[in-house]
Amino acid sequence: MPHHIPALSEEELEEGRRLFAGPCNFFFGAQTIEQLPPPERAEVAFAGRSNVGKSSIINALTGRRALARASSEPGRTKQLNFFDLGGRLSLVDMPGYGFAKASKAVKEDWQRTMFAYLRGRPNLARVILLIDGRVGLKASDKEVCALLDKAAVVFQIVLTKCDALSPTALTERVKEVEALAKSHAAAFPHIVATSSTTALGIAELRGIIAQFAEPAIGRP
Ligand SMILES: Nc1nc2c(ncn2[C@@H]2O[C@H](COP(=O)(O)OP(=O)(O)OP(=O)(O)O)[C@@H](O)[C@H]2O)c(=O)[nH]1
């Protein structure tokens, strides 16, 4: 299937492998915008609905089983968590949105914080917007796309849990999400289909993220 073929070169995939094979450490948790760490390195932020599989994909990318705590309890991540990849790039785990049980005040608070972060972060290179392959698009995903457009942050849509879909269902899901990407100026048109269970798309996503990393010391 065409969307399974990585759009990256061998060198880019290798860069991704190298970056994620190096050290990766949690270094900061921010609950408010005022607490953000200094914008020293390029950042790639992960956003998605609660329970989208965000912790699982961060763990799959970094090869650490419990770096970002994967939980079956939706809505646990309530702060912006910062991870340092060998001093070359930061990964930011954003709180999951669309948690059905959250109050209106909590949702509005999330939206305010996220928008302030997305709009005001000078070193934010890209947002990885995770969409649950099993569930598909929800109103909250569309709201976040609009927010990203408004904040003028380029985002990469990534489908999660694709192992749970038949090839036909996956093709349909990719089409649905491609249409969404086309309707948003800030969306990168190529969709990455992933599974943290089978590692589908993980190498490709590493390569995409590595494009924003500072060069490794001792290498050109
Ligand atoms: N089949 C399948 N299930 C997955 C995959 N990734 C995650 N899951 C399941 O989806 C649920 C949520 O996964 P998490 O990684 O905790 O999701 P999260 O987005 O971090 O959740 P929050 O903490 O609510 O933000 C868990 O039950 C996982 O086992 C995947 O690639 N395939």
pLDDT in tens, the chain (220 residues): 444 445 799 999 999 999 999 999 999 888 888 999 999 999 999 999 989 999 999 999 999 876 666 544 444 557 889 999 999 999 999 988 887 677 788 778 877 888 899 999 999 999 999 999 999 999 999 999 999 999 999 999 999 999 999 999 999 999 999 999 999 999 999 999 999 999 999 999 999 999 999 998 765 5
In a domain, residue 219? The reply is no
Residue 126 domain-assigned? Answer: yes
Tell me, yes or no, whether 118 lies in a domain.
Answer: yes
| Residue 178 belongs to some domain of the structure | yes
- Between the CA of 74 and the centroid of ligand 1 the distance, in Å, is 9
Let me know if residue 119 belongs to a domain: yes
State both tokens at 122: 């000078």
140 lines ligand 1 (CB under 6 A): no
CA-closest residue to ligand 1 atom 29: 72
CATH number, residue 73: 3.40.50.300
Closest ligand 1 atom to the C-alpha of 99?
24
Q: What is the pTM of this model?
A: 0.92
Q: Provide ipTM, 2 decimals.
A: 0.97
Is the CB of residue 9 below 6 angstroms from any atom belonging to ligand 1?
Answer: no
Q: Is 195 in the pocket of ligand 1 (CB under 6 A)?
A: yes
> What are 56-78's pLDDT values in tens digits?
999 999 998 766 665 444 445 57
Structurally, the chain folds into a number of domains equal to: 1
Range of the domain at 108: 2-210
Query: Is residue 217 in some structural domain?
Result: no
Decide if 49 is inside a domain.
yes
